[in-house]
Structure 1
Amino acid sequence: MSSPTSTVPSPPVAGTAGLITLDRLIDEAMLLLHAEEVEIASLEALEHRHVTLDERSIGHTGIAEMTIRADWADLHDLDTAVALIAEALKRDGSLESLDVRRSQAVGILADPTRALALINNTEPPPPSKSIVAYVHLDHDVIEGRGLLAHDEAGHTLLADRIREWLTRGDRHITIRPVINLNDHCDGSEDTGHHGRQGPDPYVPSFLTAEKVRLRNPTCVFPHCTKKSRSCDLDHLTAHTRTGVTCECNLAPLCRHHHQLKTHAGWTYQQLTPGTFLWRKPHGQTMLVTPTGTRDLTDP
């Protein structure tokens, strides 16, 4: 009489796999069972790729955060390049940690020619990157006694961080005279660059454009945070209706909100320099200042 054969059951995969393996197995099962839904989700994921610098994360140390969501192949290539530069920095004597060297590599990659020279251990070319920064320093900071400085966006920074940036050799630094934003124009026609009549009276001079963008660092549409340096400069009173091209008649509007103002019935006026009262097509009113938006609509 033969004895019954016994079998040892295989352990369940879910009980032995780690989280990464389990996620992969679930993903594979979804591909087999719900291929159409997975394809739709993949297309949606592609639409949400982005590289975003979080301006709100900038603290007094001058350190900020950036998030990246991209195709895996692109991220893998970027990670490889970052690793190569971090290793080259160590080769050249850097005593920073690996994480710090990898963060420095991101800035170096912004200058591809320099990055390639560093990886290949060849003579680096002259810096191709440039930066224009408006930093407000009081007298104590200039004499080395103060600790804090402020940039055009209102961020408070350590003065030592500003000095460190100025000593870096990987970029051109442009230093410009301080622009007095309290020195407002008298409403006369813009005379172009450096006081000379410009070729197109509709286009503001460099100085006028700088004053407008420094006065309002973002688009002046309610709640918009688009940087004014990428915005149109809108004539509050249209140039075709004798509106002059001067800081008293200009405001930064991003392209989308510029079109809303032009075609969708939104109107606004400047109450004081940099402060605007907006009226929606249905009568609501919003007050916009350089520090934010306030709803003035009577509830």
Structure 2
Amino acid sequence: MTTSQLPDAQDALRSLSAAELLEFVEDQHAAKLEAERMLLRAARQWAVLHSPDALPAGDRRGRSRARCAGAEGTPKITEYAAAAFGARMQTSPYGAKRLIADAVDLEQRLPQLHAGIEAGVVRVRNARHVAEATRELTAEEAAWVDGEVAESADGRLSWARFEALVEGKVAAAAPHLAKAREELAQTERFVRMSRVNRHGVATLTIRDHATVIMTAEAAVSQVAKKLEETMPTASRNERRLTAFAALVNPETHTDPAIRAIKPKVSALLHLFPGSPIARLEGHGPVTLNWVRHMLGTVAGKIKVTPVLDLAGQAPVDAYEIPKRLREAVRLIHPADVFPYAANLGRTGDIDHTVPYSEGGPTAIGNLGPMTRTHHRIKTHAGWEARQPWAGIVVWRDPYGAFYLVDSSGTRRVRGAEDGHAMSVDHVHTARIVLDGLAA
């Protein structure tokens, strides 16, 4: 579209109703995603055109300086091929080289993601992230990760959740590499004041084991809580800064209780049978060697909490949600249940899908975590939700669009003929609930 056409386009948009404008947005977004797929295909073809085999027979320098276009073992590409390609995309040769590498790896090493790209289902951003994350893996290890994450690369997961999924699968595919990275991280621990300090304010960066940082955070929070009585008008951040200063130099503080802080830390560690990789909630995958080492260095008592029986959680005859139910809901719903939400925190609301005032029980299957903002949208902005089974939430927006949210993310729900990205069970489940919402 040229600059002279912009006023006409804006006038056309002004003539659309709210529902028509949403359809226009959806169509434009789909066109943008397809354009990204076409650029990825073009990058792959550029690598083909710039194979060293295509050079003149006497061009020895071009052949000697050619490098694998992607991971080790992929076809080679000539040294400066990325420069012209990048210039046409208004990016650097480095940026173009990365795009070409991702395109080649997807075709050569990640067949399921590549097939999803060709089918118009997988998003380029997600696929490229997997290609980059698996570049150090063998072809067999990369193919395993491909099979584990391809279904979730269609945009159903928020970006943070997709990154966490890929990180965990890469660690599980190559635990030796995860161990090597943990060992390398030992050399990257430090306490350092930033060189960029302005207006009399400085930044202190501390990088250490997750358990050390969690303990320090708990200690700061505990002391800040004690300071509420002596600093009633201070903000939370002001009390935390005072608490930090008191902890690093307790002799300057008159309260002897602060010198004897014993912080309690709750670290949620998820173990999987037969896997050498565990997941430290809020921090990511770690090897079992790391777990053994860190538990061996912890001072004080370690409490092991048994696994919750999710199926055996009895409902309660009250609006208030007991702790055991809250924990079960968090395990069933790993993230905020609003469509495409990204929040993974444990401090948000637990919402009754069918309101308690309308007969909705306080029970598994009618509860889901949400941020306060999303909770208010559901309550006041015309959105509706149902849970046909625990862990599956179907939403309808004020304009009649439906979304299915489960542990694998969010999908837009259409008729079965348009549901190629979903299993038959998902479409069937959605239709049952949609009938109830539409009634």
For structure 2, the 5+ residue unaligned runs are 1-159, 172-177, 186-193, 220-243, 251-258, 419-439
Match in the other structure for 2:265: 130
Match in the other structure for 1:72: 197
Deviation string, structure 1 residues 129-149 (Cα, Å, up to 9, x no partner) = 5123142242x5xxxxx5222
**8 A Cα contact 1:109 1:115, kept in partner:** no
Distance 1:75 1:177, change over 3 A: farther
Match in the other structure for 1:255: 372
Match in the other structure for 1:165: 294
Distance 1:170 1:129, change over 3 A: farther
Residue 217 (1) aligns with residue 334 (2): yes
Deviation string, structure 1 residues 61-81 (Cα, Å, up to 9, x no partner) = 5979xxxx9x934896333xx
Rounded to whole Å, the distance in 1 between the matches of 2:200 and 2:303 is: 33
TM-score (norm 2): 0.38
SS at match of 1:132: coil
Q: Which residue identity is paired with 2:358?
A: R
SS at match of 2:289: helix
Distance 1:269 1:135, change over 3 A: same
Superposed counterparts of 1:198-209, under 5 Å: 201-209=318-326
Rounded to whole Å, the distance in 1 between the matches of 2:360 and 2:367 is: 9
Deviation string, structure 1 residues 173-229 (Cα, Å, up to 9, x no partner) = 542111133x254xx6416xxxxxxxxx21111111100011112110011111251
Match in the other structure for 2:431: none
How big is the shift at 1:161? 1.8
Match of residue 175, structure 1, among 300, 304, 308: 304
How big is the shift at 1:172? 6.6
What is the percent sequence identity of the aligned residues? 26
Rounded to whole Å, the distance in 1 between the matches of 2:203 and 2:413 is: 48
Match in the other structure for 1:23: none
**8 A Cα contact 1:131 1:174, kept in partner:** no
Deviation string, structure 1 residues 9-57 (Cα, Å, up to 9, x no partner) = xxxxxxxxxxxxxxxxxxxxxxxxxxxxxxxxxxxxxxxxxxxxx7847
How big is the shift at 1:152? 5.5
How big is the shift at 1:245? 0.9
Superposed counterparts of 1:233-244, under 5 Å: 233-244=350-361
Match in the other structure for 2:410: 293
Query: For this pair of structures, how many residues does the alignment match?
Result: 197
RMSD (CA atoms): 3.8
For structure 1, the 5+ residue unaligned runs are 1-53, 83-101, 118-123, 141-145, 192-200
Q: Which residue identity is paired with 1:270?
A: Q
How big is the shift at 1:244? 1.5
Rounded to whole Å, the distance in 2 between the matches of 1:205 and 1:247 is: 12
Rounded to whole Å, the distance in 2 between the matches of 1:179 and 1:75 is: 50
Match of residue 207, structure 2, among 96, 100, 103: 103
**8 A Cα contact 2:351 2:375, kept in partner:** yes
TM-score (norm 1): 0.54
How big is the shift at 1:126? 5.2
Match in the other structure for 1:19: none
Match of residue 268, structure 1, among 385, 395, 398: 385
**8 A Cα contact 1:286 1:295, kept in partner:** yes
Q: Which residue identity is paired with 1:128?
A: P
**8 A Cα contact 1:237 1:249, kept in partner:** yes
Distance 1:244 1:225, change over 3 A: same
**8 A Cα contact 1:204 1:245, kept in partner:** yes
Q: Which residue identity is paired with 2:364?
A: E
SS at match of 2:361: coil
Query: Greater share of strand residues, 1 or 2?
Result: 1
**8 A Cα contact 2:365 2:389, kept in partner:** no
